[in-house]
Chain A
């Protein structure tokens, strides 16, 4: 069992847990994830490791309540425990001194971007971060990102915080202005990552995305998370989750993410009208 030591609400429906998991905390690197199962009847879901404390033996998980399992997770409190937690899984982010790195986080995607951006910074890069959300209430980790970024842009769809618009807007401007960018790392909804890929493609700026397909085991034994990258099938759980954005078949990924929509609706009996299906 893996005890939840601390729970914090970062935004409506976005929660942070600090979980006791010494074996995972000992080993994990930015870019890796865990698979968790709440209880005996639970499904296995992947969550990125948003932070870790090796000395304390803890990892930090941040999740948005989007369906049955994440909402059940959201109802847990400090002192409760998760039945299963496997990890660290996936390949770690390749960290070195590239020069100027732009880190883009959309919505809940800011959570996985944070440890990666921090590692880039620690490796001596100039880190320009762009974080965005639908509105000010949904924006997470602003202070944390500010602390490790040389420049931080904030965007919201409705303009309630930072610039009105999308996370790709500041990126477009930087590229158009001829700013030298050595690497872009983008994590968020698939449609956002696809947009980032299209923005950087004409400039030939190396762009990495962290993919979030459906997973079951997370260890490479089922292929449920397969995605087409450079016209080759890759298993995101072991070959990724990070890939060259300019080679990813984002439309295929988006279609596959919808595979269980009708089941997910049936499961929590909302009929598909709740906010989780927007």
Chain B
């Protein structure tokens, strides 16, 4: 049988059109292409692809169903492991995960596992297919989940399937975490996020929005007064870093978190129909080169900016963003100013940004991260003519929960410390995702949520057994 050495292309909106709209860029496979791509899978007995999937999907099994045209069987298989496949199929860095281990990928391109997962999820969603879950008449216990991002939702879905009564507390007015406020509509339509979360509710998961844990409730109150058997903390890395350079408080300077929250969660791109404004100027500098930076840059273009620059202190090779996102950004016209580091933001007399003074960099010896350390070149300063600056240099853990939870151990960066099952220093309290690891990926957070769900199950059942035995 002839097997193509390259992945079947997924149709996309053309760059010159998509750079001015918020519609999804990648359009997804049709039935025929999905079957053809599924046929590239060798159905390895050892399935090395599975070791790259943080939630352990049986990849050859679901791909086999697609090849045979049984798309609903494919989604049922995926959903035994992954509660949010339409999201993961779109935003996972498959090149570093499942597809990295694909045998077909050793000689040509790996099987398009992410694209196939997305296809199966979209196929089922378009047909309103619901999963059938039989829950026990009496819940196995009550679990509170703090934060409705990928880690929390994944833990919630797994625990609900096991038979727990799960309540998710979310500080914002909509669940989803970074899926709602961070990742833009053109990569991950919010309607898809909303629908996948709706399905979780059908498993009996209750989601309480506008509940700021640490303020509305403390963790201790949830465990003592509110009667939860265990708590999972998945509050993410939502504290934006700034550079601490002069001019950072000028008008026109945003954290990427604020810029993206305004546009994604608050739909500022629809202003004034939506009530939240956003200021994307004509010439925008985005500082940083991770996925968040690419998202912010591509968003600024779509808001009408004429020039959008990625300003990054290292070279292209070290950019942390996914290759695909960098490629998309380039196609859309984002300009890269590499080996360039901001030193100050220059304002006009009214307090608005009018330029970004930068210094050129060269790469020296490798630093502790293993990447070559950028070193400034003396007297190489120049001014980039911009009216908006977006800082996308990373995020830290939001300290609200840690500050209000005595006995919860954190490391020097403020991340909660856990063992590998997600257990914290405090009994009955588990944590996972970015709040433990620092900013990482959606699927890693979901993997952590899954692991913690298993550990919570074990903990609650042991506790209940102990309580029965001592009676």
Contacts and interface: CB of A to CB of B under 8 A. Distances in A.
Interface in A150-197: none
Interface in A188-220: 216-217, 219-220
Contact of A222 (B209, B217, B261, B400): B261
Interface stretch (B21-29, B234-242, B424-432): B234-242
Contact of A43 (B254, B276, B400): B276
Interface in B236-286: 238-240, 242, 244, 248-252, 254-255, 257-258, 261-262, 266-267, 271-277, 279
Closest 10 pairs (CB-CB, A-B): A255-B351, A222-B258, A263-B277, A43-B275, A221-B238, A86-B210, A84-B173, A43-B276, A267-B272, A259-B251
12 contacts: A69-B275, A83-B173, A84-B173, A87-B216, A217-B261, A221-B238, A233-B249, A249-B249, A256-B249, A263-B277, A264-B277, A266-B272
Contacts of B216: 23-24, 27, 86-88
A117 to B, nearest CB: 23
Contacts of A41: 267, 273-275
Contacts of B217: 23
B172 interface: yes
Interface in A28-86: 37, 41-44, 68-69, 83-86
A259 B250 CA distance: 9
Contacts of B129: none
Interface in A79-121: 83-89
B258 A259 contact: no
A86 B216 CA distance: 8
Given A69-B275, A86-B171, A255 B258 contact: no
Interface stretch (A11-19, A140-148, A223-231): A223-231
Main secondary structure on chain B at its contact with chain A? Answer: loop
Given A219-B398, A221-B240, A37 B173 contact: yes
A9 B254 CA distance: 37
Nearest to B257: A222
B458 to A, nearest CB: 31
Nearest to A238: B400
Contact of A223 (B215, B240, B279): B240
Given A222-B240, A228-B249, A87 B273 contact: no
A240 B238 CA distance: 18
Contact of B212 (A86, A227, A249, A256): A86
Given A263-B271, A267-B272, A222 B255 contact: yes
A258 interface: yes
Contacts of B343: none
Interface in A224-269: 224, 226-228, 233, 238, 249, 252, 255-256, 258-260, 263-264, 266-267
A133 B73 CA distance: 69
A89 B275 contact: no
Contacts of A223: 240, 242, 255, 257-258
B460 interface: no
Range for the number of chain A residues in contact with chain B: 35 or more
Contacts of A87: 210, 212, 215-216
Interface residues of B, number: 41
Contacts of A37: 173
Contact of A252 (B249, B258, B279, B399): B249
A41 B274 CA distance: 5
B398 A44 contact: no
Contacts of B277: 43, 260, 263-264, 267
Contacts of A222: 240, 255, 257-258, 261
Helix, strand, loop or mixed for chain A's interface?
mixed
A84 B209 contact: yes
Given A42-B275, A69-B275, A224-B254, 16 more contacts: A23-B217, A41-B267, A43-B274, A43-B276, A86-B171, A87-B216, A216-B258, A216-B266, A222-B255, A228-B249, A233-B244, A255-B251, A256-B251, A263-B271, A263-B272, A267-B272
B261 A267 contact: no
B199 to A, nearest CB: 21
Contact of A219 (B209, B212, B248, B258): B212
Nearest to B258: A222
Contacts of A216: 258, 261-262, 266, 276
B211 interface: yes
A42 B266 CA distance: 8
Interface in B206-227: 209-212, 215-217
A89 B212 contact: yes
Question: Which of A87, A222, A226, A233 counts the most B-chain CB atoms under 10 A from its CB?
Answer: A222
Nearest to A225: B258
A155 to B, nearest CB: 30
A23 B225 CA distance: 13
Contacts of B252: 259
B415 to A, nearest CB: 16
A220 B238 contact: yes
Contacts of B249: 226-228, 233, 249, 252, 256
A70 to B, nearest CB: 11
A216 to B, nearest CB: 6
Contacts of B248: 233
Nearest to B221: A27
Given A37-B173, A222-B240, A263-B271, A44 B276 contact: yes
B215 A89 contact: yes
